[in-house]
Amino acid sequence: MANKPIKGGEFIIRDVHYSEVFTPEEWGEEHIMIRQLCEDFINQEVLPVLDRTDKMEDGLMESIVEKAGELGLLGLSVPEELGGMGVDFKTSLLATEHLGSGYSFSVSFGAHTGIGTLPLLYYGNQSQKEKYIPKLASGEWKAAYCLTEPGSGSDANSGKTKAKLSDDGKFYVLNGQKMWITNAGFANLFTVFAKIDDDKNLTAFLVEANSEGITLNPEEKKMGIKGSSTRQVFFNNVIVPVDNMLSSRENGFKIALNILNIGRIKLAAGVLGGAKGAIGLAVNYANEREQFGRPISKYGAIRYKLAEQAIRTYALEAATYRAGQNIDDAIFSLQNSGLDKSEATLKGIEQFAAECAILKVAGSECLDYVVDEAVQIHGGMGYSAESMVERAYRDARINRIFEGTNEINRMLAVDMVLRKALKGELDLMGPAMNVANELMSIPDFGEIDNGTLAAERRYLNGFKKTLLMIAGSAVQKLMQTLSKEQEILMNIADIAIDTYLAESTLLRVEKKINMKGESESELDIAIAQTYFYEMACKIEKSARDAINSFAEGDDARIMLMGLKRFTKTDTFNVKEARQKIAQKLIEENKYCF
């Protein structure tokens, strides 16, 4: 077992022991109280008025956000001296999860507490924070984040909004257009990104919404999240005091990137709550709906869907809180080295930017699977606008676009790890060379351990070797052109995502076995075994596609032989395992893992 805290991206090359991770089975009494507060809020204040919020009833979403503020839910990450609760990072993820089943509200909440408040909290000076943060934490004021423009989506730094310093040097004049701005309809404070004169990079400004020269387009008509305010914002000669520049000139692009890192892992937590809620709807309906004389939850095809929903959600949960604790550990270490809380938080999250991108992709695609199968379980009723799963299905789709598209995040995850390797922060080359040498040698299968989950531990080792083999060979063969080979980069990203979630699942189950014993962990073991069996097939396909895209001849043949060895699994009865998992869901009539 290693003693040093794990670094971002290091999961690829390091064996992690379960004692190094936090798992959801470890929540304490205070966490359970926060979780219950969030669940009660959703059940009492959000779910009863869903139809009204979707019709954009004037002032309704604004009032719900204010009620959340009164309960302290908007200030969880805000220090106590600024009117918040000052909880650690993983606890903020817990609250985000349990407010994530709130449909459009969860979007308004996330935009306000995340991208709306955090740029100011982490980059603002003391005067700015004292002026605005208490109002944002209480819900008296609401926040929005103005980055995207009609011509700049994924390429955020190409924005055309301009800021020009006045002749007397007292204010900036802001001109431009922003679009897809969540909470714009009722926000009191905008964080606006603009370029000063001919600067190369963006600068961020705090702009009060009642400033003269700000106009809004009507609310956007959207596929889903209909209850959240989404409008275009126009700035026409808006006067912004120089004191309202956030951080320093041209630091806006860095602010945007770092805040998006936070947004990505927060999105994973939010969709986790949405997935659990949708599973609850699916199993409720499966237990109630009868066909051919018995509930449809008795049928194997339905049980497969319920079990698979739960397995994917369990893996996402394991990975999300593992990363959350890693970030907390990094923040604590950086504070001990002398950094203040804000700077330590930013640097701690930045260290795990690749994991944040991985979780954003994994989370949004897990939720998409869960809500799609929830609709399918409901059959025709699932297609009716009167059903809850119809709304869940439409609302889920935006998450693969929010916080950077999944395609961008896949490529970012690979790029960020490779950059760490080039900087010498992560030794990928040594382990990759070891795998390359292993391909040319006679396999040493050693002594086979037949203990509980020993096979999954061997599979994990093979997954990591596969990732190192494909990434190392691709870098070596394609070199400078790899950045243009998006299909191969996405193959590599998928292997990394599947490996990270598989390892997180294994660590969670190993820790539970250590805490509660094998008999209490029987279904968790079944989840891990089924997940690994599936991931071996997925990883093999992604790797084979990559090999066939850039290698040929003996090189391709040797790698394909190695791949077969690295992704080989023993026989395993997945049907029986899924039946057990589904039966537990059916008995509990909810997500219960």
Q: For residue 444, what pLDDT band results from cuts at 50, 70 and 90? A: low
Is it the case that residue 449 has pLDDT exceeding 90?
no
Q: Which is nearest to 97 in space by CA: 67, 71, 76, 70?
A: 76
Residue 40 lies in a domain: yes
Give the model confidence (pLDDT) of 376-391 as tens digits.
999 999 999 999 999 9
Helix, coil or strand: residue 375 = helix
Per the annotation, the verdict on 130 as an active-site residue is no
Please state, in angstroms and rounded to a whole number, the distance separating the CA atoms of residues 61 and 497.
35
C-alpha–C-alpha distance, residues 107 and 156, integer Å: 21
- What is the CATH classification number for the domain harbouring 85? 1.10.540.10
Task: Report the amino acid identity of residue 254.
Answer: K
Q: Which residues pair with 178 in a beta bridge?
A: 233
Q: Residue 272: pLDDT above 60?
A: yes
**Tens-place pLDDT, residues 80-106:** 999 999 999 999 999 999 999 999 999
User: At 509, is the pLDDT very low, low, confident or very high (cuts 50, 70, 90)?
Assistant: very high
Same domain membership, residue 378 and residue 359: yes
For residue 229, tell me if it sits in a domain: yes
Residue 5 counted as domain residue: no
Q: What is the pLDDT of residues 403-427, one digit of tens each?
A: 899 999 999 999 999 999 989 999 9
- At 451 the pLDDT is 82
Residue 3, pLDDT > 60, answer no
Q: Identify whether residues 261 and 222 lie together within a single domain.
A: no
From the number of C-beta atoms within 10 Å of its C-beta (0-12, 13-18, 19+), residue 340 rates as exposed
- Region of poorest pLDDT, from 216-230, 421-435, 454-468: 421-435
Q: What is the pLDDT of residue 422?
A: 87
Structural domain includes residue 415: no
Pairing of strands 203-208, 214-216: unpaired
Q: Is the pLDDT of residue 124 over 90?
A: yes
User: Is residue 509 a contact partner of residue 524, using CB atoms and an 8 Å limit?
Assistant: yes
Annotated catalytic residue within 20, 149, 317, 403: 403
Give dist(CA 323, CA 93) in Å, integer. 10
Q: Do 463 and 440 fall into the same domain?
A: yes
Tell me which residue range forms the domain holding 578.
Answer: 428-588
pLDDT digits (tens, 9 = 90+) for 324-360: 999 999 999 999 999 998 899 999 999 999 999 999 9
Q: Which CATH number does the domain housing residue 297 bear?
A: 1.20.140.10
Residue 245 — pLDDT band, cuts 50, 70, 90?
Answer: very high
CA gap 160, 218 in Å, rounded: 22
Q: Which of the four pLDDT bands, split at 50, 70 and 90, describes residue 152?
A: confident
pLDDT of 1 above 80: no
Residues 206 and 272 in one domain: no
List, as one string, the DSSP characters of 52-63.
HHHTT-TTHHHH
For residue 209, tell me if it sits in a domain: yes
Q: Is residue 13 part of a domain?
A: no
pLDDT of amino acid 244: 97
- In order, the DSSP letters of 251-314 are -HHHHHHHHHHHHHHHHHHHHHHHHHHHHHHHHHHHHH-EETTEEGGGSHHHHHHHHHHHHHHH
Kindly tell me if the per-residue pLDDT of 489 is higher than 90.
Answer: yes
> Does 284 map to a domain?
yes
Question: In this structure, are 324 and 472 located in the same domain?
Answer: no
Span 278-284, average pLDDT: 97
Tell me what pLDDT residue 445 has. Answer: 61
Task: Say if residue 281 is in the same domain as residue 404.
Answer: yes
3-state class (DSSP) for residue 231: strand
Both 130 and 167 in one domain: the answer is no
Query: Is residue 14 in some structural domain?
Result: no
CA nearest to 172, candidates 161, 182, 156: 161
Q: Beta 171-182 vs 230-241: how paired, if at all?
A: antiparallel
Please give the tally of structural domains in the chain.
4
Between CA 442 and CA 449, with CA 448 as vertex, the angle to 5 degrees is 145
Mean pLDDT of 181-207: 96
